[in-house]
Amino acid sequence: MPDLGEHLVEPVTLARRARAALGRRNLIFVGLMGAGKSVIGRLVAQQMGLPFIDTDAEIERVSRMTIPELFEAYGEAEFRALETRVIERLLKSGPRIISTGGGAFINERTRACIQSGGLSVWLRADLDILWERVNKRNNRPLLKTANPRQTLEDLMTQRYPIYAQADLTVESQDIRKEAMAACVMQAVAALAEDDGRDEF
């Protein structure tokens, strides 16, 4: 793994290059809970001068319920159906930066929608980093189990092969969010420069 700062250029120039490479496409963040999709996505959007939308926040807005409330009231299957409808609607226009929930890309219909609706980037993180980020909050319905860390590890085993189908993979590390945003933009910008390289 190269040093994350090794190839990074001046932020304004990098953002401009990434924006040009993205064109009219949406940039869609996928990955497990705690990977940093919302935080990094929002920062990338700011730097690239594009609108940012968090699909979980949009789902809560249209349903007037929180994600845990939706899970409890309707179950995961109904939540995923709502999630798919929201993402399909959001991807009809762009370009914009979109952060999705951890299970969105796992759903076959939603994944097909994302793959046809823009450029997907997987923020990949190891277990220790994810656990450090998610165990401080009590708003993760899938982790309400007897052994939430084991549940998180099981989710990684199940989902990582599917996340790997994303167009780009960027390692989510314990570094400054500005550096992570730069790594994402570097990966996007590289698409226009080096057709064979898609991981940083």
pLDDT tens-digit map of 68-126: 898 889 888 888 899 999 999 999 988 999 999 988 999 999 999 999 989 999 999 99
Could you count the other beta carbons within 10 Å of the beta carbon of residue 94?
19
**pLDDT value of residue 181:** 93
For residue 145, pLDDT over 80 is answered with: no
Bridge partners of 47, per DSSP, are none
Place of tokens 């994944």: 111
Could you count the other beta carbons within 10 Å of the beta carbon of residue 101?
25
The residue type found at 19 is R
**pLDDT value of residue 193:** 65
Nearest CA-CA partner of 152 in 29, 31, 32: 32
- With cut-offs at 50, 70 and 90, classify the pLDDT of residue 133: confident
- With cut-offs at 50, 70 and 90, classify the pLDDT of residue 143: low
Who's near 110: CB < 8 A, 6+ residues apart?
A: 80, 83, 84, 87, 100, 104
**pLDDT value of residue 54:** 95
For 36-66, write each residue's pLDDT tens digit: 999 999 999 999 999 999 999 999 999 999 8
Please give the Cα distance from 182 to 32 (Å, whole number).
20
pTM: 0.85
Could you count the other beta carbons within 10 Å of the beta carbon of residue 168?
21
Distance set, CA 24 to CA 11, 58, 182 (Å): 21, 22, 20
**pLDDT value of residue 194:** 56
**pLDDT value of residue 157:** 94
**pLDDT value of residue 160:** 95
Distance set, CA 118 to CA 8, 38, 143 (Å): 24, 17, 30
Positive or negative, the CA dihedral 114, 117, 122, 123 is negative
Which is more confident, 15 or 12? Answer: 15
For residue 9, pLDDT over 60 is answered with: no
Q: Of all residues in the chain, what percent carry a pLDDT higher than 90?
A: 55
Helix axes 177-190, 37-48, angle to 10 degrees: 60
**pLDDT value of residue 141:** 62
Please give the Cα distance from 197 to 168 (Å, whole number).
9
For residue 129, pLDDT over 60 is answered with: yes
Q: What is the mean pLDDT of the chain?
A: 86
Strand order, beta sheet including 118-124: 52-54, 97-99, 26-30, 118-124, 168-171
- With cut-offs at 50, 70 and 90, classify the pLDDT of residue 139: low
Residues for the chain: how many in total?
200
